[in-house]
Amino acid sequence: MSTVTPIIDHVEDLWPSEGAPDDALGQLVLASHLLGANRAVSNFGGGNTSAKGTTIDHTGREINAMWVKGSGSDLATMGPEHFTGLKLDEILPLLDREEMSDEDMVAYLAQSQLDPKMPRASIETLLHAFVPAPHVHHTHPDGINVLAGTADGERLIAECFGDEAAWIPYIRPGFTLSKQVGLAVRDNPNLKLVVLAKHGLIVWGETAEEAYRKTIEVINQAVAFVNEKTGDVSRFGGRKVEPAGSLQELLPAIRGAVSSERAKVLTVDTSERVMEFVCSEQAERLVKVGAPCPDHLVHTKRLPLWISRENATPEKIAELAEQYRADYRAYFESFAGEGDVAGDPDPRVVLVEGMGLVSTGTTTKLSKVSRDLYHRAIEVIAGAEALGEFVSLDAAESFAIEYWPLELYKLAQAPKPGELQGKVALVTGGAGGIGRAIIDTLASAGACVVSFDLDAEGAADAVAAYGDRGVAVAGDVTSEDAVAEAFRAAVEAFGGVDIVVSNAGIASSSSIEETSLAEWNRNHAILTTGYFLVSREAFKVLKAQDTGGSVVFIASKNSLVAGKNAAAYSSAKAAELHLARCLAEEGGAHGIRVNTVNPDAVLQGSKIWGSSWREERAAAYNLDPEQLDEHYRQRNTLKVSIYPGDIAEAVIHFASERRSGKSTGNILNVDGGVPAAYSR
Ligand SMILES: NC(=O)c1ccc[n+]([C@@H]2O[C@H](COP(=O)([O-])OP(=O)(O)OC[C@H]3O[C@@H](n4cnc5c(N)ncnc54)[C@H](O)[C@@H]3O)[C@@H](O)[C@H]2O)c1
Ligand SMILES: [Zn+2]
């Protein structure tokens, strides 16, 4: 028994011993979930399943039908509504055709849907139709793809499965591939599986359970065969370098380098399998071969960006990313046909030797999809290379998939990008009335948000609705360490930050003789020192990214207007304002804009106004506390109340390059008009 790690992992049969639904569609959904539950069986968005049976059409007649996965859904999470029902008797005669273009195929299938409102049928629908079995499962499992992706794959598949397997040389999915598969199965009743070179597996059965169990069975047969053959081979030729260095420190530079046309969110992966790969002898050569499955291409591109140990510096990373884009544009130029529009040229997967993998995407979801697919790539490359030589789709085949309208259609299913998609915003005082409104407004525009506040629970609550797009950090803006930690968390979660809103605050009110030194120091510590510390960390990350950025201070009308009995607060707010202007000067050369929003009298949701400040202000004006709302409304020129959302609208103005890309050192008063605050 060898002590070397097996080249490829065995997969579990997850079919429940009892409780499976007894209807065909229910079983189909269950089988899909189980296939998708193990990404070594079916990668995200990849693979498809179908069931054939009878149904009653809109005229009341019983007809033969097929339900197949709709384009753009994921097996792991799809429900019955994500399947498309088709009139099978209209589709089967297509088997007699010699050829059919993608456009004709899509149009034909659309006409044959049971209901036009169902999703568009999978790209691989005809393959399912032409295989004469009630249930068909098509997956891209690691265990099969190591064989399908090795130079000697055809011979090895024959050795492993004998005449139970058919081998189909690589061809892009579509009518022709579907017909080849259908004929192979029809011509050979002993067949149990079809292997598509550099692509995946097709298995079928009388029931969903049978098709599922056979899928798992043949994968494990392949796994055992591969591990037996490669028993003493170490993955990727063993270790070349020891893990060393901090990927975290390089992330802002990487993020800047891969955000040339669109801001990207990064996902870091230093898992065992990734580290084994990026530390290995052969990784640098293997990453240049290409993707192991057509399904990966739109999310990983054909090639990742490889950064060797000696190149792991911000300057070199920027240069290598530039080179990557030049190569990508050349690849586009060589293969593009009429009507092809070049996609984003930045890499989706970055591998840093000895440090780990960084995936990129315009959303956290897309970034994680690239990461997950590259996990599959690593496994397939390991196996295929151990067996002989890993082979991939060549550049032309890859381009044909990456720019295939039917693949692009899947991507087009995603919702329209928000104005701040791919951007990362850090908001201090995120648990407060105004802070929460800012978080909601920026997040609704698509930004990832980091909420930083003394109040841990409130900070977490403010981002709870945003899933992995939101991160909460508890801490004090007056602490150097806590502020550094907040930025560290932003970098770890998203790779960096673009928008920093310094908003944490308190207020106090007293005449000068009654202002204690402690009160004075507290105002200045939070409102001045705190804003300095946050800006200092912000500038470090923004400069490392080298993609500009927006810093917004939430000061106050009091930064401009002198009022009675709030000297500590107002002088600290004035210092904030001037700090912003100084930093605008320092940031300009780096495209970092620094602007100030001055609220006034935002009573709703504010903890400040829930505290003694309300009584203190009321006392200063000789009013009852409940008369304050009306007092403030009547005090401004427009006679309006100011709400947290109004402040947030001013923040998004300064946060957005499109709206205010040419404004810095500016002030936007959101106070209903206070003549003494009119800036000049
Ligand atoms: N509400 C108004 O009328 C008004 C007017 C002018 C300016 N402002 C300014 O707007 C900002 C937000 O105020 P708000 O009305 O939302 O108040 P708020 O009290 O509701 O929110 C302020 C948040 O800052 C947090 N915070 C306080 N000290 C902190 C520290 N040391 N470290 C980290 N977090 C800290 C608090 O926990 C709170 O969640 C403040 O800077 C305030 O001065 C508010
Ligand atoms: Zn496929």
Give yes or no: residues 457 and 392 share one domain.
no
Let me know if residue 630 belongs to a domain: no
In a domain, 520, yes or no: yes
* Among the bound ligands, the one closest to the CA of 476: 1
Q: Do 227 and 256 fall into the same domain?
A: no
Mean pLDDT of 302-330: 97
Query: Looking at the domain assignment, is residue 617 inside a domain?
Result: no
Instruction: Judge if 205 and 265 occupy the same domain.
Output: no
| 124 Cα to the center of ligand 2, angstroms | 7
Q: Give the residue from 210, 199, 371, 228 showing the smallest Cα distance to 291.
A: 199
CA of 138 to the centre of ligand 2 (A): 7
CA of 184 to the centre of ligand 2 (A): 17
Task: Give a yes or no: residue 192 inside a domain.
Answer: yes
Residue that is written with structure tokens 């230093």 in the block? 270
Measuring from atom 6 of ligand 1, which residue has the nearest CA?
A: 556
Domain stops at, among 201, 231, 261:
231
Q: What is the number of domains present in the chain? A: 3
Q: How far apart are CA 678 and CA 680, in angstroms?
A: 7
Ligand 1 atom with least separation from CA of 477: 32
- Between the CA of 173 and the centroid of ligand 2 the distance, in Å, is 7
* Ligand that lies nearest to the alpha carbon of residue 611, given by its number in the listed order: 1
In degrees and rounded to multiples of 5, residue 532 shows phi and psi of -65, -50
Distance (Å) from CA 429 to ligand 1 centroid: 6
Ligand minimally distant from the alpha carbon of residue 145: 2
- Residue 28 resides in a domain: yes
Higher pLDDT, 664 or 57: 664
Domain match, 365 and 442 both: no
**Same structural domain, 560 and 592:** yes
The answer to the question of residue 30 being in a domain is yes
Q: Atom of ligand 1 at shortest distance to CA of 434?
A: 16
The ligand that comes nearest to the alpha carbon of residue 122 is 2
Atom 36 in ligand 1: residue holding the nearest Cα = 429
Average pLDDT of the residues in 539-550: 98
What residue owns the CA closest to ligand 1's atom 42?
505
Residue 121, beta-bridge partner list: 70
**Phi, psi (rounded to 5 degrees) for 279:** -100, 0
Mean pLDDT over residues 532-555, rounded?
Answer: 98
Sequence-distant (≥ 6) Cβ neighbours of residue 242 within 8 angstroms: 279, 354
Whether 558 contacts 575, CB under 8 Å: no
What pLDDT shows up at residue 4?
57
* Residue 508 forms part of a structural domain: yes
What average pLDDT does the segment 426-451 reach? Answer: 98
Q: Are both 402 and 472 inside the same structural domain? A: no
Q: What is the pLDDT of residues 102-155, one digit of tens each?
A: 999 999 999 999 999 999 988 899 999 999 999 999 999 999 999 999 999 999
Q: What is the pLDDT of residue 2?
A: 42
Which one of 608, 633, 669 would you pick to mutate in the ligand 1 pocket, going by the greatest count of ligand atoms within 8 A of its CB? 608
Residue-wise pLDDT tens digits, 43-87: 888 899 999 999 998 899 999 999 999 988 899 999 999 999 999
Residues 408, 457, single domain; the answer is no
CA 350 to centroid of ligand 1, rounded, Å = 39
- Among 362, 392, 412, which residue terminates a domain? 412
Q: What are phi and psi of 318, to 5 degrees?
A: -60, -40
- If one residue of 427, 428, 434 were mutated to test the ligand 1 pocket, choosing by the most ligand atoms within 8 A of its CB, it would be 434
**SS3 state at 620:** helix
Please name which ligand lies nearest the alpha carbon of 435: 1
Same domain as 401, residue 263: yes
CATH code: domain of residue 558: 3.40.50.720
Tell whether 219 and 283 lie within a shared domain: no
Q: Do the Cβ atoms of 460 and 472 come closer than 8 Å?
A: yes
What's the gap in Å between 201 CA and the centre of ligand 2? 8
Reference 417, options 473, 344, 485, 486; nearest CA is 344
Compute the distance between CA of residue 108 and CA of residue 127 in angstroms, rounded to an integer. 15
Atom of ligand 1 lying closest to residue 600 CA = 5
Q: Which atom of ligand 1 is nearest to the CA of 602?
A: 3
Give the separation between CA 655 and CA 407, rounded to whole angstroms: 34
Q: How far is the CA of 294 from the centre of ligand 2 (A)?
A: 7
Q: Could you identify the atom of ligand 1 that is nearest to the CA of residue 478?
A: 31
- What is residue 404's predicted lDDT score, i.e. its pLDDT? 87
Which residues does a 6 A CB cutoff place in the pocket of ligand 1?
428-429, 431-435, 453-455, 458, 476-478, 503-507, 526, 530, 554, 556, 599-602, 606-609
CA 314 – CA 178 distance, rounded (Å): 48
- The model's confidence at residue 413, banded by pLDDT at 50, 70 and 90, is confident
Per-residue pLDDT at 596 exceeds 80? yes
- For residues 430 and 575, membership in a common domain is answered with yes
Same domain, 252 and 191: no
- Catalytic residue positions, numbered: 569
Question: Band of the pLDDT at 409, cuts 50, 70, 90?
Answer: confident
Nearest to 485 by CA among 549, 534, 542: 534
- Full residue range of the structural domain in which residue 396 is found: 247-412
- For residues 197-222, average pLDDT: 96
The CATH code of the domain that includes 392 is: 3.40.225.10
Give the helix, strand, coil percentages of the chain, each rounded to 5: 50, 15, 35
pLDDT band at residue 8, thresholds of 50, 70 and 90?
confident
What is the H or E stretch that residue 107 is in?
A: helix 102-111
Q: Whose CA is nearest to atom 2 of ligand 1?
A: 602
Domain assignment present for 556: yes
pLDDT at 23: 84
What is the pLDDT confidence band of residue 1, given thresholds at 50, 70 and 90?
very low
Q: Are 406 and 433 in the same domain?
A: no
The answer, yes or no, to whether residue 29 has pLDDT greater than 70, is yes
Q: Return the residue whose CA atom lies nearest to atom 38 of ligand 1.
A: 432
SS3 assignment for 343-371? CCCCCCEEEECCCEEEEEECCHHHHHHHH
Nearest residue CA, atom 43 of ligand 1? 505
Domain end point (choices 412, 445, 480): 412
Q: What does pLDDT average to over the chain?
A: 94
Q: Which atom of ligand 1 is nearest to the CA of 611?
A: 19
